[in-house]
């Protein structure tokens, strides 16, 4: 178990490192640099020279990567190419805001998805299942920006209950994001609930049809006891991975939602930094997102293993 | 009786005092064009003009008709050949930090623009100024390298704002000027707060506070206006106008501008190096159809002149679509079977792809086969514009002389069509030194007519700006940003 953990951590570190190289190469390969992106059609002569001098862009790419990597390992993510501000400061607030959005959606979405998924599986093909499944299909297939725009239209333009756009600056205290953050959380909840719900439903249905469930039934175990003792524990294991993926997606910054609602999170910052060719910021965010993906997936695997005695012993025997 | 009158006049005084007290907050958005490099330095590339225009003043500003009118300079005069200009400054003006505005601040501000080391984007606008000196406390002398009769027009440039002497290193964050509003806090990507400058020389502003909020996404800005989170959005589309006009909660202003979009055919490469081909490329355009199809009617037809419809030097030209004429010219130039053109467009300017498609259909009638090449918006200005033979372009309004000189003069930095024409250059330099207004206008008109004959740039129209406001806003001048008197704007 412990050996496996270390191996996975090592692999994770390598993944993150590879991601940083790919991102660096990708941004390098895009036409233009931070200076031409900023200066647009004034990117000529002295102005361009001064800018490149200031940002150290006239040094070879390899040197710049090496310097960045050296700093990153020591926990120093460098300074933003444009604002000349420390990145940890810039990204910190954005990460916090994305966390707020993500945790809001998770707190609302995960219990809701589990509940609705189990209900629609237990009453399969009944009216409640048909209604829930149909709504889930809608929530999954309508693009987020459409549902976002519709919600803004109804709740902020027509009814005037909540503000449509987030105008709170990135570094404001968390409390100030209410009630502006409610609409984006609602949209995210809709999408993620639908995804998780469908997995829960199919895996509960599968467990209900399994031999051990039938065996329990034949032995005369009461229906609800069978559901809670035998079906749900087995059925919910696979959903841990789906939930983990969803969490990773949420923490990676939901670009479309953040743009539509003008929300100052990681996703919008990533897009802005790419179009500004602000390599240090892009790198830092990519690093965070990659780490989150690796970390959350690792956590999910460990949880699955702890919850499943068979997997646990298999690894012990192997290791 | 006397008492009653006294009481009544007292009441009136109290009422008018209460009325004069600035009240309410006016909120608008800006698109954070320069991201975290945004600055309050009016002459830097990252200047947020939505803020600088409210906190800093110019020497000369445009009146409601776009003509030069006094701002920090109250009077100006030139010597006989317009090479020396004397500007008399307004007295009793103080900066937001309490220091007195005077000639040394003007010298400092202008020299800073002209400093080659700064290489400010604003420098080319006034590069003919060779020397700035203070005559006394309240007057300065500008010496020019060559005659220039319309210097006041150039001093209206939205970037040429006066800052305190020696403040260059801090101005990007302090924003100290003489404008109707004072900076309270600056956050380009969040909310910038301004408060009324009670000492403003034209009287205290009508609103107590202004908030300039950074919202990158155009759709999000419209949503913010619809939801009443901002009071004004400049530059809404004709489709969005329909939404706003249907409601009594909003008003829409229609403002003709000198902003234009166009197609460039580089004059230095075949086949466009042949003037007949260039003429034909432009003759096939049905400009009114372009205005209707691309802009939903929200534009004014132009005949390849970059000079805006409200400019005093705008030439009244005629340029109907002429397919037969274009065919004849192409045949003469050796393209009897028509020709193929690769036209590069990006969605950087949302109307470019539509404009290109309309042009494609119109040009097809004369045998010109336009092949539209869609390229990424990223890097458009560095990789495509001024590199490929046929591209799309866009420019914002500038005074006639500046528009003609910056884009078409043989030596211009932004000569995007590589246009080189001695006759045209000569017309411009004559116009600059001609002191008689009517004669000067005649020369500028000739220069524009010359462009219609020979240029490689198709300018089908000048864009009309639509400004959406909430119903609580009043007294907002119906003109471009550059001329709006922000201290008059009020909110309920």
Residue B139's SS3 state is strand
Q: Smallest Cβ distance to A167: which of B37, B213, B382?
A: B213
CA of A255 vs chain B CAs: smallest distance (Å): 12
Q: Smallest Cβ distance to A169: which of B191, B217, B382?
A: B191
Would you give the DSSP letter of residue B341?
A: E
B383 in reach of chain A (CB within 8 A): yes
Q: Report DSSP letters for B51-64, one per residue.
A: HHHHH--BSEEE-T
Chain B hits for A263, CB-CB cut-off 8 Å, are none
A75 in reach of chain B (CB within 8 A): no
Chain A hits for B383, CB-CB cut-off 8 Å, are 31-32
Nearest CA in chain B to A48: B119
Q: Which helix (H) or strand (E) holds B470?
A: strand B457-470
Q: pLDDT per residue over B86-106, tens digit each?
A: 999 999 999 999 999 999 999
B12 confidence band (pLDDT: 50, 70, 90)? very low
Q: Smallest Cβ distance to A38: which of B37, B376, B414?
A: B37
Measure the CA dihedral B308/B301/B344/B324, to 10°.
Answer: -130
| ipTM passes above 0.85 | no
Q: pLDDT per residue over B27-63, tens digit each?
A: 999 988 777 778 999 998 889 999 999 999 999 999 9
Q: Smallest Cβ distance to B224: which of A164, A170, A278?
A: A164
For chain B, what is the mean pLDDT?
Answer: 91
A37 in reach of chain B (CB within 8 A): yes
**CB–CB of A164 and B189 under 8 A?**
no
In terms of pTM, does the model score above 0.95? no
Per-residue model confidence as pLDDT tens for chain A (319 residues): 678 888 888 998 898 889 888 988 888 887 777 777 777 777 777 778 877 887 778 888 888 888 888 888 887 777 776 656 788 888 888 889 999 999 999 999 999 999 999 999 999 999 999 999 999 999 888 888 888 889 988 998 888 888 888 888 888 888 888 888 999 999 999 989 998 999 999 999 999 999 988 898 899 889 899 898 888 888 888 888 888 888 888 877 688 898 889 898 888 888 888 877 788 888 888 888 888 888 888 888 888 888 776 766 655 544 3
B246 in reach of chain A (CB within 8 A): no
A268 in reach of chain B (CB within 8 A): yes
At residue A140, the pLDDT reads 87
Residues 176-205 (B) with a CB less than 8 A from some CB of A: 187, 189-191
Q: Where are the beta strands (DSSP E) in chain A?
A: none
**CB–CB of A83 and B37 under 8 A?**
yes
B430 in reach of chain A (CB within 8 A): no
Crossing angle between the packed helical segments A182-208 and A144-151, to the nearest 10 degrees: 130
At residue A319, the pLDDT reads 39
**CB–CB of A167 and B414 under 8 A?**
no
Q: Cα–Cα distance between B29 and B224 in angstroms, integer?
A: 9
Residues 280-319 (A) with a CB less than 8 A from some CB of B: none
Q: Which letter, b or e, does each residue of B213-229 get, where b requires 16 or more Cβ atoms within 10 Å of its Cβ?
A: bbbbbbbbbbbbbbbbb
pLDDT top residue among B301 and A89: B301
A36 in reach of chain B (CB within 8 A): yes
A42 in reach of chain B (CB within 8 A): yes
**CB–CB of B382 and A36 under 8 A?**
yes
B381 in reach of chain A (CB within 8 A): yes
Chain B hits for A149, CB-CB cut-off 8 Å, are 219, 223
Chain B hits for A276, CB-CB cut-off 8 Å, are 35-36
**CB–CB of A260 and B220 under 8 A?**
yes
Chain B hits for A50, CB-CB cut-off 8 Å, are 119
Chain B hits for A85, CB-CB cut-off 8 Å, are 36
CA of A29 vs chain B CAs: smallest distance (Å): 12
Q: Cα–Cα distance between B178 and B197 in angstroms, integer?
A: 9
**CB–CB of B379 and A260 under 8 A?**
no
Nearest CA in chain A to B377: A275
Nearest CA in chain A to B224: A165
Q: pLDDT per residue over B192-212, tens digit each?
A: 999 999 999 999 999 999 999
Residue with tokens 């997936």: A297
**CB–CB of A90 and B213 under 8 A?**
no
Query: B414 to each of A31, A305, B257, B262, how far by Cα in Å?
Result: 21, 65, 21, 15
Cβ-Cβ pairs closer than 8 A, A with B, add up to 109
Q: Report DSSP letters for A38-75, one per residue.
A: HHGGG--HHHHHHHHHHHTTTS-HHHHHHHHHHHHHTT
Chain A hits for B185, CB-CB cut-off 8 Å, are none
A176 in reach of chain B (CB within 8 A): no
Mutation pick from B119, B215, B391 vs chain A, by most beta carbons of A within 10 Å, is: B119
Give the rounded distance of the alpha carbon of B279 from its chain centre. Answer: 28
Q: pLDDT per residue over B348-380, tens digit each?
A: 888 999 999 999 999 999 999 999 999 988 778
**CB–CB of A169 and B187 under 8 A?**
yes
Give backbone dihedrals phi and psi of B181, rounded to 5 degrees, phi first: -125, 150
Residue A114's SS3 state is helix
Q: Cα–Cα distance between A308 and B330 in angstroms, integer?
A: 80
Q: Cα–Cα distance between B412 and B420 in angstroms, integer?
A: 10
B119 in reach of chain A (CB within 8 A): yes
Q: Cα–Cα distance between B191 and B211 in angstroms, integer?
A: 6
Chain A hits for B35, CB-CB cut-off 8 Å, are 38, 82-83, 272, 276, 278
At residue B424, the pLDDT reads 96
Per the CB < 8 A criterion, the answer to whether A26 and A309 are in contact is no
Quote the percentage of chain B above a pLDDT of 90.
73
B414 in reach of chain A (CB within 8 A): yes
**Nearest Cα to Cα of residue B187 among B170, B173, B203:** B173
At residue B120, the pLDDT reads 85
Mutation pick from B25, B29, B37 vs chain A, by most beta carbons of A within 10 Å, is: B37
Mutation pick from A167, A169, A275 vs chain B, by most beta carbons of B within 10 Å, is: A167
For B216-238, what is the mean pLDDT?
88
Nearest CA in chain B to A171: B190
CA of A193 vs chain B CAs: smallest distance (Å): 25
């Amino acid at each position: 178990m412990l050996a496996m953990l270390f191996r996975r951590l090592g692999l994770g570190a390598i993944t993150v490192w590879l991601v940083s190289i790919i991102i660096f190469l990708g941004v390098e390969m895009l036409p233009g640099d931070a200076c031409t992106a900023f200066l647009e059609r004034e990117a000529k002569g002295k102005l361009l020279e001064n800018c490149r001098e200031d940002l150290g862009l006239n040094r070879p790419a390899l040197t710049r990567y090496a310097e960045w990597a050296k700093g990153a390992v020591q926990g120093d993510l460098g300074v933003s190419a444009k604002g000349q501000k420390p990145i940890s400061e810039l990204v910190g607030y954005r990460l916090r805001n994305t966390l707020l959005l993500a945790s809001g959606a998770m707190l609302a979405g995960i219990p809701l998805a589990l509940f609705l998924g189990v209900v629609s599986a237990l009453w399969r093909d009944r009216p409640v299942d048909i209604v829930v499944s149909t709504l889930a299909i809608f929530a999954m297939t309508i693009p987020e920006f459409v549902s976002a725009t519709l919600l803004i239209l109804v709740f902020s333009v027509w009814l005037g209950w909540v503000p449509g756009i987030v105008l709170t600056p990135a570094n404001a205290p968390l409390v100030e994001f209410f009630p502006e953050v409610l609409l984006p959380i609602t949209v995210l909840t809709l999408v993620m609930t639908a995804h998780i719900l469908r997995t829960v439903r199919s895996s509960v249905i599968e467990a209900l049809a399994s031999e051990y469930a039938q065996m329990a039934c034949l032995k005369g175990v009461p229906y609800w006891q069978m559901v809670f003792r035998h079906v749900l524990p087995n059925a919910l294991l696979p959903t841990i991975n789906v939930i983990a993926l969803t969490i990773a997606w949420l923490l990676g910054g939901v670009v479309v939602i953040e743009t539509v609602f003008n929300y100052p999170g990681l996703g919008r910052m990533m897009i802005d930094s790419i179009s500004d060719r602000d390599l240090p910021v892009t790198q830092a965010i990519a690093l965070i997102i990659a780490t989150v993906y690796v970390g959350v997936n690792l956590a999910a695997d460990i949880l699955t293993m702890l919850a499943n005695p068979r997997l646990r012993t298999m690894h012990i025997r192997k290791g | 009786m006397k008492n009653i009158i006294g009481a009544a006049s007292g009441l009136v005084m109290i009422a008018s005092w209460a009325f004069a007290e600035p009240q309410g907050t006016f909120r608008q958005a800006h698109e954070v064009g320069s991201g975290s490099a945004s600055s309050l330095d009016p002459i830097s590339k990252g200047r947020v003009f939505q803020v600088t225009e409210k906190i800093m003043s110019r020497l000369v500003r445009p009146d409601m008709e776009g003509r030069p009118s006094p701002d920090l300079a109250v009077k100006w005069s030139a010597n006989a050949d317009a090479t020396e200009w004397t500007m008399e400054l307004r007295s009793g003006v103080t900066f937001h930090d309490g220091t007195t505005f005077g000639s040394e601040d003007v010298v400092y501000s202008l020299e800073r623009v002209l400093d080659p080391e700064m290489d400010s984007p604003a420098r080319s606008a006034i590069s003919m100024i060779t020397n700035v000196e203070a005559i006394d406390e309240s007057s300065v002398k500008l010496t020019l390298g060559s005659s220039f009769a319309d210097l006041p027009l150039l001093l209206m440039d939205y970037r040429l704002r006066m800052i305190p002497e020696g403040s260059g290193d801090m101005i990007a964050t302090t924003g100290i000027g003489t404008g109707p509003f004072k900076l309270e806090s600056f956050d380009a990507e969040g909310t910038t707060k301004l408060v009324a400058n009670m000492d403003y020389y034209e009287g205290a502003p009508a609103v107590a506070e202004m908030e300039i909020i950074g919202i990158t996404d155009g759709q999000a800005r419209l949503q913010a206006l619809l939801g009443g989170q901002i009071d004004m959005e400049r530059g809404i589309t004709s489709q969005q106008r329909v939404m706003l006009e249907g409601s009594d909660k909003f008003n829409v202003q229609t403002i003709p501008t000198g902003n234009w979009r166009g197609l460039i055919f580089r004059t230095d490469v075949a086949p466009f190096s042949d003037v007949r081909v260039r003429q034909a490329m432009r003759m096939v355009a049905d400009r009114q159809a372009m205005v209707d199809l691309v802009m939903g009617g929200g534009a004014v037809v132009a005949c390849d002149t970059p000079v805006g419809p409200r400019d005093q030097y705008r030439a009244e030209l005629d340029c109907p679509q002429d397919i037969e004429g274009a065919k004849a010219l192409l045949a003469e130039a050796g393209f009897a079977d028509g020709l193929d053109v690769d036209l590069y467009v990006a969605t950087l300017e949302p109307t470019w792809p539509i404009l290109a498609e309309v042009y494609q259909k119109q040009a097809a009638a004369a045998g010109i086969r336009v092949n539209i090449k869609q390229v990424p918006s990223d890097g458009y200005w560095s990789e495509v514009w001024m590199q490929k033979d046929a591209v799309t372009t866009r420019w914002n309004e500038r005074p006639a002389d500046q528009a003609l000189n910056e884009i078409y003069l043989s030596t211009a930095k932004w000569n995007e069509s590589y246009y080189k024409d001695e006759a045209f250059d000569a017309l411009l330099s004559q116009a600059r030194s001609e002191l008689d207004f009517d004669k000067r206008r005649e020369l500028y008109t000739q220069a524009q007519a010359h462009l219609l004959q020979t240029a490689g740039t198709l300018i089908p129209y000048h864009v009309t700006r639509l400004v959406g406001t909430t119903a609580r806003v009043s007294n907002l001048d119906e003109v471009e940003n550059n001329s709006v008197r922000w201290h008059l704007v009020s909110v309920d």
